[in-house]
Amino acid sequence: MQIKKINDVEYQKYLDSIEYAGFLQSVEASKKMESNGWKIEYLQFVENNTVVASGMIGMIPLMKIFKYCYVPRGFIMDYHDSALVERVTTTFKDYLKKEGVIYAELDPAIPLQQRNQDGDVVEDGFNNFDVVDNLKACGCIQLPLKYGYDMTRQCRFVSVLDIKDKTKDEVFNGFISKTRHNIRNALKNSVKIRELSRDELSILKELVDMSGEKQNYETLGLEYYEQEYDYFNENAKVYMSYLDVNEYALNIQQNMEKEKETIARANETLKENPYSKNSQNRLKIAQKNLESLMVRQEEANELSSKCSGELPLAAAMFLFYKGEVYYLSSGSDERYKRFKGPYALQWFIIQKAVEEGNHSYNFYGISGKFKPGEEGYGVFDFKRGFNAVVEEYIGNFILPCKPFIFRIYNKLKHVC
């Protein structure tokens, strides 16, 4: 087996020729890593003039004279073929030794075992335990399978909605009733969606910061979102759900007029027939509705004084890559959660994903904790409401390339 170094154009051509690759394995992701100080290489493993594995790797200095290597989401290859995994790993290890790499890390996006919407392991479902065994047999060390959020590594649990060959109605009907209800209410109450330009990424950051403060997690600077937007080009889109305050106020006014007309008609009828039960009920309901609308009108007037027509509710960055849409950085304004902006935003992008023929809508990271009150349960429950299924990846693997030096480094840094 030989390793062939190729350029980014050749690597992109290879990616275009295969059915599946994740966005972290893309040329765009490599360019972003490169801008952050990584040395990027595109490798192909060749046997008998046939490419049997390929991928992008990043190397960065370690202990001044050595290097650390990361293979985002692992190589693109058949991990079930134990002999192939052994040959690729051995060849790769020898290559990295010459490059001065102490150890490499890879985190293949391969499900460990089948789980359902609730996060439960499916009885008699599929598993990929053999992949874990194959990697271990080649000298890879599997890191402990952790639950919760780890900002230093890619997520191990994700929620994924299957939309392949489905209509928008079929997808919508798969949502739980609460989710469908919230979407309908949001759209009825003048919640709209629009794309944000690069110059408006500060809106996304502000909403993410609000969520971070509410849920007590660290957020990233504006430059992070700008990098994602710039390097992923047309594959990166940022959308915002907002309340159209003027339309909202107008709808309230129109509904108030309708209720006033109902009250007037009911009063006229009651003049002629004071004991009419139907008219009494209509009057009572209309008066109650009018009182509620008056409260909402005051609220609308207050909102109008705070913003110029658009009240941001939620925003998120989405990546469209090789048939899959990824829901990444997001945030919302908790003060206006009654307008259900996140629900409207999700439904808008899911419809777009269906229209463009994608096979999956990836809600991305969840904590892997599925009981009320546990870390990240609310995020998981929100995504579950859209009929998303939990996927648990096999985790992170360490490949020591210089065993003696790695043992010393591991004692100091506790890598594994």
Q: In terms of domains, do 57 and 20 share one?
A: yes
Is 232 a residue whose pLDDT tops 90? Answer: yes
Cβ count near 167 (within 10 Å): 10
| pLDDT at position 303 over 90 | no
Do residue 406 and residue 285 come from a single domain? Answer: no
pLDDT digits (tens, 9 = 90+) for 177-207: 999 999 999 999 999 999 999 999 999 999 9
What proportions of the chain, in percent to the nearest 5, are helix, strand and coil? 45, 25, 25
Q: With bands split at pLDDT 50, 70 and 90, how would you rate the model's confidence at 276?
A: confident
238/330 same-domain check: yes
d(CA 140, CA 107): 11
What pLDDT does 88 receive? Answer: 98
Confidence at residue 217, expressed as pLDDT on a 0 to 100 scale: 81
In a domain, 152, yes or no: no
How is residue 81 written in tokens?
């073929």
List, as one string, the DSSP characters of 376-403: THHHHHHHHTTTPEEEEE---EEEESSH
Q: Do 204 and 324 share a domain, yes or no?
A: yes
Can you give the residue range of the structural domain that contains 222? 157-245+309-393
- Positive or negative, the CA dihedral 8, 11, 15, 20 is negative
Q: How confident is the model at residue 270 (pLDDT cuts 50, 70, 90)?
A: confident
What is the count of structural domains for the chain?
Answer: 3
Q: Is residue 128 part of a domain?
A: no
Mean pLDDT of the chain: 96
The percentage of the chain sitting over the pLDDT mark of 90, rounded to a whole number, equals: 90
Nearest CA-CA partner of 300 in 337, 251, 257: 251
Statement to judge: residues 174 and 233 lie in one domain? yes
Q: What is the mean pLDDT of residues 25-47?
A: 98
Mean pLDDT is lowest, of 50-64, 98-112, 279-293, for: 279-293
Beta strands 324-332 and 310-321 are antiparallel
* Domain annotation covers residue 150: no
Amino acid at 349: I
Q: Which residues contact 139 (CB under 8 A, 6 or more apart)?
A: 89, 93, 399, 400
Is the same domain home to 220 and 231? yes
Does the residue 265 lie in any domain? yes
CB 321 within 8 A of CB 26: yes
- Write down the pLDDT at residue 139: 97
Task: Pinpoint the alpha helices (H) of 217-367.
Answer: 222-232, 245-272, 277-306, 341-355
Q: What is the mean pLDDT of residues 81-96?
A: 98
pLDDT-based confidence at 306, cuts 50/70/90?
A: confident
Residues 222 and 360 in one domain: yes
117 is a domain residue:
no
Same domain, 183 and 80: no
Question: Within 10 Å of residue 409's Cβ, how many Cβ atoms?
Answer: 19
**With 90 as the cut, is the pLDDT of residue 273 above it?**
no
> Residue 192: which CATH number?
3.40.630.30
Query: For residue 330, what are the contacts with CB-CB under 8 A and spacing of at least 6?
Result: 207, 208, 211, 314, 315, 316, 317, 342
Residues 322, 368, single domain; the answer is yes
The reply to whether 262 and 335 lie within a common domain is no
**346 and 302 together in one domain:** no
pLDDT value, residue 151? 83
pLDDT band at 144 (very low <50, low <70, confident <90, very high): very high
* Beta pairing partners, 391: 114, 158
Considering the domain boundaries, does residue 288 fall inside one? yes
Q: φ and ψ at 163, to 5 degrees?
A: -120, 10
pLDDT of residue 275: 79
